[in-house]
Structure 1
Amino acid sequence: MNEKDEENNNSGYERTLTNAHIQLIALGGTIGTGLFLGVGNSIRRAGPSVLLIYVIVGIFLFLLMRALGELIVSDLSKHTYIDFIKKYLGKDIGLISGYLYWISWVTLGMAEMTALGIYFQYWFPRLPTWLPGLITVAVLLIINLLSARFFGNLEFSFAIIKIVTIIAFVILVFYLLLTGSKTSLGPVTFANLNSHGGLFAKGRIGFFSGFQMVIFSFVGVELVGLTAAEAQNPAKTIKKAINEVPMRIILFYVLAIVAILVVIPWNKVATNSSPFVQTLAATGIQNAGSLINFVVISAAVSATNSFLYSAGRLLFSVTYQGKGKWNHTFGQLHRKLPQNALILSAVLMELAPLVIILIGNNAFNFISSTSTSMFLIIWCLMLLTHIAYRKQTKEQELTDFKMPWFPYLDFATLAFFIIMIILLLFLPENRIAMIAALLIFIILFSLVKIRHQE
């Protein structure tokens, strides 16, 4: 790929995101409600073995990102991963994948909205759970309509808050550990990791049931690829961001969960509030619970911001240069931003209150499970796209950012995701969500085929 190709930006987007923006957006994509709220659900389902689950899932997500990174660097003029799917798997599969991916990001935004309501009830127990998210999405839509750089600056700030907080959280807990301190829940000790049944306290079924929420925690890790069209030096910054994923996994997930578990026995971890808030509240430090709750809220707002950004650009990408009123409406840029696509995505996210009203307290778990299910399907298609790219591209035309040990690691990662899909179909608490995701895919496939017959 020559310099001219690298500088080409056929999308029409303005390259305003700097190296710092990309790095912080990459971090922001991996630190959200899945970690701050969903980890409680994972711990209660799997026990201390949740640590092993995070390592396993993290490894395969890193391999996915290496495959996607090679695709991105191979053609920086592409808007999103969906453009690569269209090129290497066909326009129909690309169109189906694009809409499924868009729905996935919208669903993620709905999950964050639901979580925001739960967080705010820490301070306002009688506040309707749907209200904070509703207001947040409306404000974030306005911000996203201003400029990509404004979005980048906001994510930069949010990411710094999250990173500093988690580092400080881990340092504080390990200080309490080294000093032999006690909390309202008992001594701070590594013994908690092996107490109450050991590492696999919930058995084999518990271990496997923990995968769904852990996978949900990592959803958004591929967000960095969607910023390529607006990055000032995409080839360099994207490579760096992807290669740093393992460190983020170790620091922000594994160490953070260890910090929680040495303070709180796994069978006492809350599922209806953030374990981070519960952990600091147990230390007795004045206002610590409120402080971390503020950070958790900022993380949810940050994640919602990222998901709205992604959803808008995906809908634009799917409808870009398409025929008909629908494509013409959402496949255009206004002031170099996909305004109409952003507005529709925000409006659909605002439907989250209906799910909360219909399902109640289980709304977050259902929405997160549905989103996880759709992303598993998308990730399988992305890996198939990378395999097709490597088979159709001559060795001398490949980039210097190759997927290691191709095709073995591609097939190993693909097999893992397929096993996860089968697993969710077998688990009662995830079965309906997984079936719903497969039905959405089938419906989209049918609609595309019907369109061709008309």
Structure 2
Amino acid sequence: MSKEDPKTNSGYERTLTNAHIQLIALGGTIGTGLFLGVGNSIHQAGPSVILIYIIVGIFLYFLMRALGELVLSDLHKHTYIEFIEKYLGKNIGFITGYLYWISWISLGMAEMTALGIYFQYWFPHLPTWVPGLITIVILLFINLLSARLFGNLEFSFAIIKIVTIIAFVFLIAYLLVTGGKTSFGPVGFGNLAKNGGFFATGANGFLGGFQMVIFSFVGVELIGLTAAEAQNPKVTIRKAINELPLRIILFYVMAILAILLVIPWNKIATTSSPFVQALGATGIRNAGSIINFVVISAAVSSTNSFLYSAGRLIFSVTYDGKGKWNETFGHLHRQLPQNGLILSACLMGLAPLVIILIGNQAFNFISSTSTSMFLIIWCLMILTHLSYRKQTPANKLTDFQMPQYPWLDYLTLAFFGLMIILLLSLPANRMAMISAILIFIILWAVSKIWHQERAI
């Protein structure tokens, strides 16, 4: 697919520019997992959460290199699911496609739940389901207009998040150098050594911190889903993936370190954003409200991205299929998967029901379930890359190849497998991981029935 091609073979219009892709890639790594979920991670692991972010970030970079090679090997494909169908079989592709779609739906529900928590900073008596429901209606309207409008919106949200985190890190660095104090005491590295030291919660706490950290990175592969609507994907996708390590260090590690320099790890609350707590502690007037506005914009941004992804995934798994379901969701209106977007938004809109049933634990349960499903999907993606390399002659490989193939593939696959075992062993995450496995099994049974009926 050349730079001049205005559409993909399925009818997508290539309207996303280099700036769009770069900012979507950057903004996609900064969401509720960082702004809200990091409080839970710090509570679990103490200061060692910094090391967890580095470890997970490294393996997610390996995953993205593998996925980048797949995407650039065939720019006519809409999503990763088509690669899975080609190299692992249609049955696995069917299962993964719907599991992936359900995962994006659950992520959108998690963001909607987080929005309710954020708005309670200003409106303590506002029902937590109201902000999310209003948001999903507005975002659906925007996504139904054009992909470029989505890109422009994400561009704006990403700039807000990036500028805020950079400003936050520089502010805490200034307080550190000048000997500044907050309501928690002096800003300094001493907070990393107090209250039990770097590994304050021991091995169990360190391992328990992985779930929410992984959730923080969920959605990082969104940049691959934009390839079908990118004006010059061979350049932009490659650049976005290669810059991932820098984004991880700057926007995760430095930001969390800044929080811990201000607030002792054991005094960070899990019911509100640690960024709001840290800035509020500096005594800067209205700082808490400013950062709360930013974390709200981050949640809206993530919800927007997840709706975008979910709509395109349901289109991808039903594209060119037969039957009423496939005909309804497997074609485009004005180069957009409108029916898929509407269905996905309606399902995300069920988040209030989860909040009513589960209460304050809704965010933790939904985020844990999302993490569990993505771990399964990431394993299948690595297996797809391994199969692609085995089936593709050396002279037909793209020049953007997975480094140290196949050993880094095996190492990454082993890491994701260990994370699945870890979540099954942790009581707080066990039910969510079991739920993800059950969903996979149900989809497998449905796919068997589906393909048997079509064979008759």
TM-score band by shorter chain is over 0.9
Per the alignment, residue 451 of structure 1 pairs with 450
Q: CA deviation at 1:158?
A: 0.2
Q: CA deviation at 1:9?
A: 1.8
Amino acid across the alignment from 1:290? S
**8 Å contact kept, 2:31–2:302:** yes
Distance 1:4 1:270, change over 3 A: closer
Residues 1:332 and 2:339 aligned together: no
User: Where does 1:17-96 land on structure 2 (aligned, <5 Å)?
Assistant: 17-96=16-95
Show CA shifts across 1:198-226 (max 9, x none): 11100000000000000000001000000
- Taking every aligned residue pair, what percent have the same amino acid on both sides? 79
Show CA shifts across 1:38-72 (max 9, x none): 00000000000000000000000000000000000
Q: CA deviation at 1:422?
A: 0.3
**8 Å contact kept, 1:5–1:75:** no
Cα distance in structure 1, aligned partners of 2:452 and 2:3: 40
Amino acid across the alignment from 2:337? P
* Number of residues of Structure 1 aligned to a counterpart in Structure 2: 453
User: Where does 1:97-108 land on structure 2 (aligned, <5 Å)?
Assistant: 97-108=96-107
Q: CA RMSD in A?
A: 1.1
Q: CA deviation at 1:451?
A: 1.8
User: Where does 1:1-400 land on structure 2 (aligned, <5 Å)?
Assistant: 3=2, 9-400=8-399
**8 Å contact kept, 2:6–2:14:** no
**8 Å contact kept, 2:7–2:14:** no
SS at match of 1:204: helix
**8 Å contact kept, 2:208–2:426:** yes
**8 Å contact kept, 1:119–1:296:** yes
**8 Å contact kept, 1:6–1:76:** no
Deviates more, 1:49-58 or 1:9-18: 9-18
In structure 2, runs of 5+ residues without a counterpart are none
Deviates more, 1:43-52 or 1:181-190: 181-190
Amino acid across the alignment from 2:233? P
Q: CA deviation at 1:6?
A: 8.1
Show CA shifts across 1:158-198 (max 9, x none): 00000000000000001011111111111111100111001
Cα distance in structure 2, aligned partners of 1:438 and 1:243: 32
**8 Å contact kept, 2:64–2:241:** yes
Cα distance in structure 2, aligned partners of 1:198 and 1:224: 38
Q: CA deviation at 1:5?
A: 12
Amino acid across the alignment from 1:287? N
SS at match of 2:301: helix
Cα distance in structure 2, aligned partners of 1:44 and 1:177: 23
Cα distance in structure 2, aligned partners of 1:115 and 1:174: 28
Amino acid across the alignment from 1:359? I
**8 Å contact kept, 1:8–1:76:** no
Distance 1:16 1:3, change over 3 A: closer
Per the alignment, residue 413 of structure 1 pairs with 412
Cα distance in structure 1, aligned partners of 2:368 and 2:68: 26
Amino acid across the alignment from 1:165? T
**8 Å contact kept, 1:6–1:235:** no
Show CA shifts across 1:345-389 (max 9, x none): 000000000110111110000000000000000000000000000
Amino acid across the alignment from 1:52? L
SS at match of 1:155: helix
Distance 1:87 1:6, change over 3 A: farther
SS at match of 2:248: helix
**8 Å contact kept, 2:5–2:14:** no
Cα distance in structure 2, aligned partners of 1:279 and 1:4: 45
**8 Å contact kept, 1:32–1:299:** yes
Q: CA deviation at 1:11?
A: 2.3
Cα distance in structure 2, aligned partners of 1:4 and 1:42: 42
Amino acid across the alignment from 2:141? I
Amino acid across the alignment from 1:229? A
Amino acid across the alignment from 1:296? V
Amino acid across the alignment from 1:240? K
Distance 1:74 1:8, change over 3 A: farther
Distance 1:62 1:127, change over 3 A: same
**8 Å contact kept, 2:279–2:287:** yes
Amino acid across the alignment from 2:72? V
Q: CA deviation at 1:260?
A: 0.1
Amino acid across the alignment from 1:334? H
Cα distance in structure 2, aligned partners of 1:166 and 1:5: 36
SS at match of 2:221: helix
**8 Å contact kept, 1:83–1:94:** yes
Show CA shifts across 1:53-95 (max 9, x none): 0000000000000000000000000000000000000011001
**8 Å contact kept, 1:54–1:254:** yes
Amino acid across the alignment from 1:418? G
SS at match of 1:221: coil
Q: CA deviation at 1:453?
A: 2.7
Show CA shifts across 1:225-255 (max 9, x none): 0000000001100000000000000000000
**8 Å contact kept, 1:40–1:269:** yes
Cα distance in structure 2, aligned partners of 1:137 and 1:379: 27
Cα distance in structure 2, aligned partners of 1:192 and 1:8: 54
SS at match of 2:200: coil
Q: CA deviation at 1:452?
A: 2.5
Amino acid across the alignment from 1:9? T
**8 Å contact kept, 2:85–2:91:** yes
SS at match of 1:123: coil
